[in-house]
Amino acid sequence: MQTKGMDGAAQGPEGSPLFVVGVGASAGGLEALELLLRAAPTDAGLAYVVVQHLSPDHKSHMVELLSKHTQMPVVAAADGTSIVANRVYLIPPKKHLTVRDGALHLHDRGSGLSLPVDLLFKSLALEYGERAAGVVLSGTGSDGVRGVRAIKEGGGLVIVQDPITAKFDGMPRAAISTGHADYIVPVSTIPKTLITFAGIVTQVRYTQQEPSASEEEVFANLAGLLRRQTGVDFTKYKSTTVMRRIHRRMAILQIETLTAYLDVCRKSPDELSSLFRELLISVTRFFRDGDAFEIVRREVIPALIEKSRPGESIRVWVPGCATGEEAYSLAILFEEYFENGGRPRDVKIFATDIDRNALELASAGVYPDSIAADVSPERLSQFFVRRDDGYQVARFIRKRVVFANHDLSRDPPFSKVALVSCRNLLIYFSPDAQAQAIAGFRFALRPGGVLFLGSSETPGDLGDELEPLNPTSKIYRRTDVRTRGPAFSSALPRERALATQSTAHSLTIGVQEAAQLLLEKFAPPSVLVNEHHDIIHFFGEPSPLLRLSTGTATLNLINLLPPSVASVVSLAAHRVLRDSQEATYHAIPDGRDGLITVSVRPLDVRGTNRLLLVSLTDERATDSPLAAVSGAVSLDAQRQIADLQQELLFSRENIQATIEELETSNEELQATNEELTAANEELQSTNEELQSVNEELHTLNVEYQEKIAELVHLNEDINNLLISTKLGSVFLDHELNVTRFTPAIAPVMRLLDRDIGRPISHLSIQLGVDAFFELLDQVRSTQVPAEKEFTLRDGQVYQIRVAPYVSDTPGDAGLVVTALELTAAKKIERQLARILDALPQHIALVDRDGVVTRVNRSWTEFADAYGADARRTGVGSSYVAAAEADPSAKPVVEKLRALLEGRIDAFDLEYPCDSPTEKRWFLLQAVRLESDDGGAVLSHLDITARVALRRGEETTSPRAHDA
């Protein structure tokens, strides 16, 4: 059952939050959190889980500080606490906080890199999915980047504080750089954004069922718009997945109907682009599913290398590569294998995706600091370069990877691939599109090749072409059985730009093109060389002119030819490289009494002219007459060429010597650079640790500043209170040294500001010293407050009260001495006593128990005159007990008890009180005292004469009537 909060946002079942909002903050985050909670309604059905970078060595005051800014309960998270709506949970120091099974879970914080925001966000994404929201506030560093991606992948909401309003913009900008922020807004508007989004999501709540007919129609129209703008056909994706993403965009734009959203997309190409990005969430990380990558490292890569032939290139295909982490992970595994003694091979990894923005990021290879949670320190130092904005994949790793735009659902697959790694992409495809993709993978893989899928994916019916290699890790091997390749209906090939850092692929293509050219035009044996005359490939039987000499082995064509031929080949190659046109020379002596034709032709391989095709033809095998040859070279020219060749050789030797010297210097500089790099990495690591400590200290400092401001305010309140009450006070520590005092204590103790810290025994005290220190010792030993009246030399009376100083901090025990002047009160008391003594009535004051506390002179004189025992009638005696002892005073007892118990306020009572010698009557008047201590005032007046007179009148009156 759902309820409605005051803002109209629906809430989940009773106590269950509609949304769980993870809030990540660091330096400068306290102010942002206070502003966030002040703006957050208290009954919106949201639960807030707040994670900060807290110092592990200091107590956090966040609960007290944040509680002042919201009516929602703010509590420190405890392990196992169930998450309920309209409550704020704070991470405690020294802990990491995650959610699982609807409850909070605490984990000890390790000594390594701490990314508490990432941990919380990732657990929220797993637990709550579309009901999770991640909010990134002020802070330094990049904590939260991986968590933001996880929340986005799970369909949750991501809100980032506008960096302009953040005290520290590192964390907000890092989160924005992922491209996954749904809202970038000031903190004060975040609660309203959350509630509005939650309300619309509830109204258009989608399910896992197939879309309705109307939704299918809208979906088809949207897919058509996307196909025209982006070239991607989303009808091949799971309709439920696509509809969830569409509903998210609707909630973000606060649009309630699909038809209205379709109208927006028709009018706004920008919204179509946003929807395209929403549908292509590039969520990946290095070595995702570590156990599976360990199988690849330990079993798959060694097997692929061992089965490859020398000189053979190993091709790897990573479709759906997103931002490149998976492709680079595989490149690192291959590099580690080679460095550990494996046979070196040329490895080329083709990483493809339909998201061009993601491919640009992947090609740059720059990633945030948070990858340290997935990449070991050893790999970070070996395969990455530290930058100000994070880490960049080392160039020698990036050279192994080629990134290209490729649509798996429509473009033909690669061929002769040793490893296809397609992880967590097929789960978004429809069943037909999945089957087509798997067929493409089968076609791409060479026999013995390996297919590596995600943990939730399956190749379906394996047939005869795939066999399980490690089903648990979803690794399969291609068999030798080959069936017909997959059909791709989108016929027209698309232009692609391959981002590559290597020419190995171009060289392979050059060999193939050269072979085709020879088949068409050249029958004689030929040699493919590069610009340095190094032999790349032989076509046909090698020329008998090629000679191997003693010494260091070489494949340089110039060194293998006779000098007369070598000089001509060198000249021809120079002309071809300069003019990009074919050069042919005839009648060249071959050094064996024969003549040959030298032909050098440039090969245009993907825009480069750096490959040359050299053909050496025996002219005896041709029908062309020598006289028709236009390019013959005279003997004089040959001698001149030989001289130039010799000079060139000397120049080359000098250049080579210079190069060797420069290489030596370069090696020394490289060693120095490596040392500096290592030192820089150590300094960077130290800087990261210091940065983390700085964030924690900044957070702690802000807390302390808040506390200090609060304490200053409280201190001012106390000072004003003490001064306004004119109550003299002295605070003493456990050694009876003065720590604080108020000016009103001056008549009792002559204190100055410089006396703070001095023992009270050293000060001038106007009291009875012995009695005062006895009072101090009594309270210090018993820890029970005590008080005593003191009269000063000038006649002033003070009540000195001593109480223990109560503190939760050990070692803060002491005493508080207060002095209350009673001089005026004593004067009034004396005047009251004189007034009472002047009255003829016998007056006594009794407490709530009926015990006499004061009597006037008339009371005492009356008691003395009739010989009454002072113990039964004086101060300290019980008036009630005395009345109870007289049977005739029973009415007095009843009335007095009612008065003392508060049932009546006053009474008058005439009663007989005979002495041994005479009969007497008294008038008792009693009034209850209005005080906390209770009690009453009793007045006795002798009315014997009045009673006698009244009785005489009563006796006389009947006689007069009879007369």
Tens of pLDDT, residues 380-435? 989 999 887 788 999 999 888 988 888 887 777 887 888 999 888 888 888 888 88
Answer with the residue of higher pLDDT: 962 or 214. Answer: 214
Report the Cα 922 to chain-centroid distance in Å: 88
For residue 859, is pLDDT > 70?
Answer: yes
Q: Average pLDDT, stretch 575-595?
A: 81
> Shortest CA distance to 3 belongs to which of 52, 43, 31?
43
The CATH label, of 3.30.230.10, 3.40.1160.10, 3.20.20.540, 3.40.50.180, for the domain at 3-203 is 3.40.50.180
Per DSSP bridges, beta strands 583-589 and 595-605 are antiparallel
> Shortest CA distance to 862 belongs to which of 889, 877, 845, 843?
843
Tell me, what's the pLDDT at 112? Answer: 63
Q: For a pLDDT cut of 90, what percent of the chain falls above it?
A: 6
Distance between CA atoms of 482 and 369, rounded to whole angstroms? 45
Tell me, what's the pLDDT at 273? Answer: 85
- For the domain 839-950, what is the CATH code? 3.30.450.20
For residue 813, is pLDDT > 90?
Answer: no
- Range list for CATH 3.30.450.20 in the chain: 504-633, 726-824, 839-950
Provide the 3-class DSSP secondary structure of residue 181.
Answer: coil
Position 554 confidence tier, pLDDT thresholds 50, 70, 90: low
- For the domain 504-633, what is the CATH code? 3.30.450.20
Tell me, what's the pLDDT at 692? Answer: 64
Q: How many other C-beta atoms can be found within 10 angstroms of the C-beta atom of residue 270? A: 10
Answer with the residue of higher pLDDT: 575 or 619. Answer: 575
pTM higher than 0.75: no
Query: 621, 590 in Cβ contact below 8 A?
Result: no
Amino acid, res. 563: P
Q: Where are the alpha helices (DSSP H) in 110-268?
A: 116-128, 145-153, 170-177, 190-203, 213-230, 239-253, 258-267
Q: What kind and span of H or E run contains 95?
A: strand 95-100
HEC string of 843-862? EEEECCCCEEEEECHHHHHH
- Range list for CATH 3.40.50.150 in the chain: 290-478
Tell me, what's the pLDDT at 354? Answer: 86
Tell me, what's the pLDDT at 330? Answer: 94
Answer with the residue of higher pLDDT: 109 or 738. Answer: 738
Tell me, what's the pLDDT at 49? Answer: 92
DSSP secondary structure, 427-442, as one string: GGB-HHHHHHHHHHHH
* Residue recorded with tokens 């390594």: 112
For residue 773, is pLDDT > 90?
Answer: no
Class of domain 726-824: alpha beta
Position 134 confidence tier, pLDDT thresholds 50, 70, 90: very high
Answer with the residue of higher pLDDT: 308 or 17. Answer: 308
* CA distances from residue 961 to 39, 40, 434, 954, 955 in whole angstroms, order as listed: 94, 94, 133, 12, 11
Answer with the residue of higher pLDDT: 758 or 8. Answer: 758
Torsion angles phi and psi, residue 103, rounded to 5: -135, 160
What fold, for 290-478? Rossmann fold (3.40.50)
Contacts of 242 (CB under 8 A, 6+ apart): 219, 223, 234, 279
Query: 47, 198 in Cβ contact below 8 A?
Result: no
Tell me, what's the pLDDT at 681? Answer: 62
Amino acid, res. 225: L
